C-alpha cells in the first residue's frame, strides 16, 4: 500500500465525524423553528438523510462526483459501489490520506446539503415524496455539482474557488429550496395564522452544534492537517462570531430588541458566508465577510415576505444570500499569501478575473440546481403528489407521516 | 354555597392562595389559561417577522365556599391580586345548587 500521512489522516477522520454531527444539529436548529405538531417530521428530514444519502453515496454518488472526469460534467463509474477504494490513497505528501477517509468525508457533505434543503419543505411535504426527491437530487444534482467544483469538472478547471462548499452545498441547497417552496406552495395559514417557532432553546443548541461541526466542514476542507487547516479554522470561527454580532447589532440599530434566534441565525449566516472563502482569506477579511453576511441575511429575511414564497425556515435567505455573498467576496479577498493553491482577488492585485469566475460559479450553480430540482419536483407532483392534504396539514405531520408526537404535555 | 371564579395575573397566585388559606378555605382549583380583555397582547419578533400575540397568559382559580364567607373570599382575592395596573383580572361570584363529596356522599356545605 502507498504511504499515508498519519497526522492528516487523523484530522480528516475527526473532520468527517464533525461534518456528520452537523446534520443532527441542523435537525434541532430546524425543528425548534416549526410548530410543535411538526417537530418530529422536521427532525426526520435531516435524520433520514443520514441513512438514505450515505447509502446512495456509497453506491453511485461518490463515483459520479469523484470518478474520472467525463467531459467536465460528471465523474465516471470506476468507483461504483466504492470499488477500488480500499487500499488506495488520495492526495500526496503530507496530504496523503486513505481514499476511504476521503469518501466518508465527502459523503457527510452530501448528507447535510440534502438536510439544508428541508428548511423550505417544512410542515407540508409528504414524507414519501421527500424520500424520492432526496434520492433523485443526490444522484442528479449534488454529485455532478460536486464534480464540477471539486472532482476535476469544468468549474474547477475554470479556476473558480470554493474552499468548502459555498456553491456546492449552500447555493445548491438554497436553489433547490426555492424550487421546493414554489412547487409546494405556501403553508396553510401563511400570512393569516401565527406560524411561530415552538422551541428556541432547541434551535440555539442546534446552531451551536452546527458551529462546532463547521470546524470539520471548513478546516477539514484543507484535506490535510497543517497551516491551511489552522487558517481555515480561524477564519471560520471569526466569521461566525462577526455574523452573530452583526445580526444583533442590525436588529438594535433598526429599533428592535437583540433576539436569541437572531444571534443563532447570524452565527449561521457568518458560517455560510465564510465557507467558500475559509482557506483563502486573512482573519480580518473573515471578520468582514461575517459582518456582511450577518447584515445582508437579516435584511433578506425582512423583505422575503414581499416575494410571496413560503421558504419556511429561510434556506434562501440564509444559505442562498450568505453563500452567494461569500462566493463573491472570495473573488475580492482571496490571497495567495494565505493559500498558494488559491488565487489573488480584486483587493490583492488579482484584478477582476477571479471575481468573474466566482460569479460564473454562482450563476451556474443556481441555474443547474434550481432547474433540475424544479423538473424533479414537477414530475413527482404529477405522479405521487408532493403535498399532504389540508386536513392532515392542520393536524400536523408528526402524527400523519410518522404516527408519533414529539411532546406529551 | 357560592362559586367564586377569578382571572388573575399568574405571578400573584401564591399570594392569593396564602390569603385564602388564612380565611380557612380548604381547597381550590387553578388553571393556566390564555385570554384577552382590555389589556392588549404583545408583539414577538422571529427573524425579523412580527407576530402579534393577542392572548395573554393568565391564571384562573375556582373555588366553592359557604355563603357567609363568600364576600370575605372575594375581597381577599381582590386585595391579594391587585397591582393597580391594567390586566389585574376579574372576580365572578355565582350561586351553586348542590355539592357532593364523592368519597362519603356528604351533601351541601358539609361536602366543601
| Cell numbers 450577518: residue | A294
A259:B46 CB<8 A: yes
pLDDT at A318 (0 to 100) = 97
List, for residues B34-74, the tens digit of each pLDDT value: 998 888 788 888 888 888 888 889 999 999 999 999 999 99
- For domain B2-111, give the fold: Alpha-Beta Plaits (3.30.70)
State the Cα–Cα distance between residues A19 and A212, nearest whole angstrom: 9
List, for residues A141-200, the tens digit of each pLDDT value: 999 999 999 999 999 999 999 999 999 999 999 999 999 999 999 999 998 888 899 999
Q: Which residues of A touch B46 (CB under 8 A)?
A: 33, 196-197, 259, 261
Asked if residues A333 and A231 have their Cβ atoms less than 8 Å apart, the reply is: no
Cβ-Cβ contacts under 8 Å for A329 (sequence gap 6 or more): A273, A277, A285, A288, A289, A292
Q: Roughly what angle, to the nearest 10 degrees, separates helices A227-253 and A283-303?
A: 40
Q: How many residues does chain A have?
A: 409
User: What distances in angstroms separate CA B94 from CA B16, B26, B33, one per listed residue?
Assistant: 19, 19, 20
Distance from CA of A263 to the nearest CA of B (A): 10
Mutate to test the interface with A, among B32, B42, B43, B47 (most CBs of A within 10 A): B47
Tell how strand B2-8 and strand B89-95 pair up: antiparallel
User: The C-alpha cell of A284 is what?
Assistant: 480580518
pLDDT at A193 (0 to 100) = 84
The distance between the two most distant Cα atoms of chain B, rounded to a whole number of Å, is 59
Domains of chain A: 6-395 (1.10.3430.10)
A261:B47 CB<8 A: yes
B44 touches chain A (CB under 8 A): yes
How many beta-carbon pairs under 8 angstroms link A with B? 27
pLDDT at A401 (0 to 100) = 96
A194:B47 CB<8 A: no
Instruction: Indicate the residue of A197, A298, A305 with minimum beta-carbon distance to B46.
Output: A197
Average pLDDT by stretches of 10, chain A with 409 residues: 92 98 98 97 98 98 96 96 96 96 98 98 98 98 97 95 96 98 95 90 98 98 97 98 98 96 98 98 98 97 88 96 97 96 94 95 98 98 96 95 91
ipTM above 0.90, yes or no: no
Distance from CA of B47 to the nearest CA of A (A): 6
State the Cα–Cα distance between residues A233 and A281, nearest whole angstrom: 11
Instruction: Indicate the residue of A194, A196, A301 with minimum beta-carbon distance to B48.
Output: A301
Instruction: Indicate the residue of A194, A257, A265 with minimum beta-carbon distance to B47.
Output: A265
State the Cα–Cα distance between residues B9 and B77, nearest whole angstrom: 11
Report the 10 Å Cβ neighbour count for A243.
33
State the Cα–Cα distance between residues A120 and A337, nearest whole angstrom: 39
Distance from CA of A259 to the nearest CA of B (A): 8
Instruction: Give the residue from A181, A321, A186, A203 showing the smallest Cα distance to A262.
Output: A203
List, for residues A278-305, the tens digit of each pLDDT value: 999 999 999 999 999 999 999 999 998 7
User: The C-alpha cell of A201 is what?
Assistant: 432553546
Distance from CA of A262 to the nearest CA of B (A): 6
List, for residues A94-112, the tens digit of each pLDDT value: 999 999 999 999 999 999 9
pLDDT at A75 (0 to 100) = 96
State the Cα–Cα distance between residues A205 and A59, nearest whole angstrom: 33
State the Cα–Cα distance between residues A17 and A46, nearest whole angstrom: 16
User: The C-alpha cell of A22 is what?
Assistant: 452537523
Confidence (pTM): 0.90
pLDDT at B38 (0 to 100) = 84
Mutate to test the interface with B, among A201, A249, A259, A308 (most CBs of B within 10 A): A259
Give pairs for A72-80: CB < 8 Å, separation 24+: A72/A148, A72/A152, A72/A153, A72/A154, A72/A157, A73/A144, A73/A147, A73/A148, A73/A153, A73/A154, A74/A143, A74/A144, A74/A147, A74/A153, A75/A143, A75/A147, A75/A151, A75/A152
Distance from CA of A196 to the nearest CA of B (A): 8
pLDDT at B60 (0 to 100) = 97
pLDDT at A305 (0 to 100) = 78
List, for residues B70-97, the tens digit of each pLDDT value: 999 999 999 999 999 999 999 999 999 9
Instruction: Indicate the residue of A261, A298, A305 with minimum beta-carbon distance to B46.
Output: A261
List, for residues B14-40, the tens digit of each pLDDT value: 999 999 999 999 899 999 999 988 887
Amino acid at each position: 500500500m502507498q504511504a499515508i500521512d498519519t497526522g492528516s489522516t487523523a484530522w480528516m477522520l475527526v473532520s468527517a465525524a464533525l461534518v456528520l454531527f452537523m446534520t443532527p444539529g441542523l435537525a434541532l436548529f430546524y425543528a425548534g423553528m416549526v410548530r410543535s405538531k411538526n417537530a418530529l417530521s422536521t427532525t426526520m428530514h435531516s435524520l433520514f438523510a443520514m441513512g438514505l444519502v450515505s447509502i446512495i453515496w456509497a453506491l453511485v454518488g461518490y463515483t459520479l462526483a469523484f470518478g474520472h472526469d467525463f467531459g467536465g460534467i460528471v465523474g465516471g463509474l470506476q468507483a461504483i459501489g466504492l470499488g477500488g477504494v480500499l487500499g488506495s490513497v488520495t492526495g500526496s505528501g503530507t496530504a496523503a490520506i486513505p481514499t476511504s477517509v476521503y469518501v466518508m468525508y465527502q459523503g457527510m457533505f452530501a448528507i447535510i446539503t440534502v438536510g439544508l434543503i428541508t428548511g423550505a419543505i417544512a410542515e407540508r411535504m409528504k414524507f414519501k415524496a421527500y424520500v424520492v426527491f432526496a434520492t433523485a437530487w443526490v444522484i442528479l444534482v449534488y454529485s455532478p455539482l460536486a464534480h464540477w467544483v471539486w472532482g476535476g469538472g469544468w468549474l474547477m478547471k475554470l479556476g473558480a474557488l470554493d474552499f468548502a462548499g459555498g456553491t456546492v452545498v449552500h447555493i445548491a441547497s438554497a436553489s433547490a429550496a426555492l424550487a421546493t417552496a414554489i412547487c409546494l406552495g405556501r403553508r396553510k395559514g401563511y400570512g393569516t395564522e401565527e406560524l411561530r417557532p415552538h422551541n428556541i432553546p432547541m434551535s440555539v443548541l442546534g446552531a451551536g452544534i452546527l458551529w462546532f461541526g463547521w470546524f470539520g466542514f471548513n478546516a477539514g476542507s484543507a484535506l490535510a492537517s497543517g497551516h491551511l487547516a489552522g487558517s481555515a479554522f480561524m477564519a471560520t470561527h471569526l466569521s461566525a462570531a462577526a455574523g452573530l454580532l452583526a445580526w444583533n447589532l442590525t436588529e438594535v440599530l433598526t429599533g428592535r430588541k437583540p433576539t436569541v434566534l437572531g444571534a443563532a441565525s447570524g452565527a449561521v449566516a457568518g458560517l455560510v458566508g465564510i465557507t467558500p472563502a475559509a482557506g483563502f482569506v486573512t482573519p480580518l477579511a473573515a471578520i468582514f465577510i461575517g459582518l456582511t453576511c450577518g447584515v445582508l441575511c437579516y435584511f433578506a429575511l425582512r423583505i422575503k415576505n414581499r416575494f410571496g414564497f413560503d421558504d419556511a425556515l429561510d434556506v434562501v435567505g440564509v444559505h442562498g444570500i450568505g453563500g452567494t455573498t461569500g462566493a463573491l467576496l472570495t473573488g475580492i479577498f482571496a490571497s495567495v499569501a494565505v493559500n498558494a493553491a488559491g488565487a489573488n482577488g480584486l483587493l490583492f492585485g488579482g484584478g477582476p478575473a477571479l471575481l468573474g469566475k466566482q460569479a460564473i460559479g454562482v450563476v451556474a450553480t443556481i441555474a443547474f440546481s434550481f432547474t433540475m430540482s424544479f423538473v424533479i419536483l414537477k414530475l413527482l407532483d404529477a405522479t405521487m403528489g408532493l403535498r399532504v392534504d389540508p386536513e392532515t396539514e392542520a393536524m400536523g405531520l408528526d402524527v400523519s407521516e410518522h404516527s408519533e408526537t414529539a411532546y406529551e404535555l | 354555597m357560592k362559586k367564586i371564579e377569578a382571572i388573575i395575573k399568574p405571578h400573584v397566585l401564591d399570594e392569593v392562595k396564602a390569603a385564602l388559606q388564612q380565611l380557612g378555605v380548604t381547597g381550590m382549583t387553578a388553571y393556566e389559561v390564555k385570554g384577552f380583555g382590555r389589556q392588549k397582547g404583545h408583539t414577538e419578533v422571529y427573524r425579523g417577522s412580527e407576530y402579534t400575540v393577542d392572548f395573554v397568559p393568565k391564571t384562573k382559580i375556582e373555588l366553592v365556599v359557604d355563603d357567609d364567607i363568600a364576600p370575605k373570599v372575594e375581597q381577599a382575592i381582590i386585595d391579594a391580586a391587585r397591582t393597580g395596573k391594567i390586566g389585574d383580572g376579574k372576580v365572578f361570584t355565582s350561586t351553586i345548587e348542590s355539592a357532593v363529596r364523592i368519597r362519603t356522599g356528604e351533601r351541601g356545605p358539609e361536602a366543601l
